Amino acid sequence: MTNVLIIYTGGTIGMINDPKSGVLVPFNFEQITDHVPELKRLKYKFKVHSFDPLIDSSNMSPEVYKEIAQLIEKEYENYDGFVVLHGSDTMSFTASALSFMIENLTKPVIFTGSQLPVNGIRTDAKENLITALEIAAEKRKGKAMVPEVCIYFDYKLFRANRSFKYNSEKFEAFRSPNYPVLAEAGVYLRFNRNDILKPSDEPIKFHTKLDSAIGILKLYPGISPEIVKSALSANCKAIIMETFGSGNTSTQKWFLDQLRDAIKAGKLILNISQCKVGTVELGRYETSRELKEMGVVNGYDMTFEAAVTKLMYLLGNVKSNKKIAEYLETDLRGELTVY
């Protein structure tokens, strides 16, 4: 019998509308079959572990990522797959973090949630939950069909560290423009096997040390030296610099000098594009050639969410800035494409 563990952290999917007040209130998720009776027809077992207290996705933190990872580590041998129910707003951050924290994963860890509460007339909660469970339980020749951390939402399965939330009003809340969807649910559940990570033969490892000492520098035309200096001098170990197009920045001397000074002071600067589609190509244009020469790290086509959580993971587990820079430019969990 296939066993799946449901980890309910919080979010709309575990809420119901109070008929008197109209306010969303959490219900006892242990009684989920009362609201989704279709679950009784599944041909496998599942158990629910609810966080206490429940956590709104806006309050998620590296400490919660650690708690989720430790729970999966504790129960890893007891279940064939895991479904993590999470608020959609920061789901891509948490799911991306888990993808880096669990090395050599051989079982599915599927994140899902909903835009409407489970007892809503037009709710998306039931379909998201049922299909996420089916994906977590799916096997081929005795092995998990999707041995990686994913997000399932609105009939599509995304690699976690390739996804981001782009819409707060549509059921189609997530996108993954730089990597194909891993599965689509229609009349049939169709998996794109060539795009799914192959499981490793190495033993699984859980990394729960994270360091969130990360700053953000988002460029815009007309940004002042004072603003750039403030961002670069922040008390952090690494800075994610969101640049234009394929990784381009201003070539003004004051700007480049400030970047050089920050790197000389021991800060890592990771270059990712403000564009949602495409990749950073350091050195392709004159406006990025000097960045490459001074040691700015190429983030290629990583999402902002993947860049943040990959840095948390590397800063927590690797001491050398040189090695961290190497790993940032290396595809560790399918999070980037090196051209």
Catalytic residues: 12
Helix/strand/coil (H/E/C) assignment for every residue in the chain: CCEEEEEECCCHHHEEECCCCCCEEECCHHHHHHHCHHHHHCCCEEEEEECCCCCCHHHCCHHHHHHHHHHHHHHHHHCCEEEEECCCCCHHHHHHHHHHHEECCCCCEEEECCCCCCCCCCCCHHHHHHHHHHHHHCEECCEECCCCEEEEECCEEEEHHHCEECCCCCCCCEECCCCCCCEEECCCEEECHHHCCCCCCCCCEECCCCCCCEEEEECCCCCCHHHHHHHHCCCCCEEEEEEECCCECCCCHHHHHHHHHHHHCCCEEEEEECCCCCCCCCCCCHHHHHHHHHCCEECCCCCHHHHHHHHHHHHHHCCCHHHHHHHHCCCCCCCCCCC
Nearest-angstrom CA–CA distance, 129 and 135: 10
Let me know the angle formed at the C-alpha of 94 by 93 and 100, rounded to the nearest 5 degrees. 90
Q: Please count the residues of the chain.
A: 339
Q: b/e for 116-132, b at 16 or more Cβ within 10 A? A: bbbbbeebbbbbbbbbb
Q: How many CB atoms lie within 10 A of CB 157?
A: 27
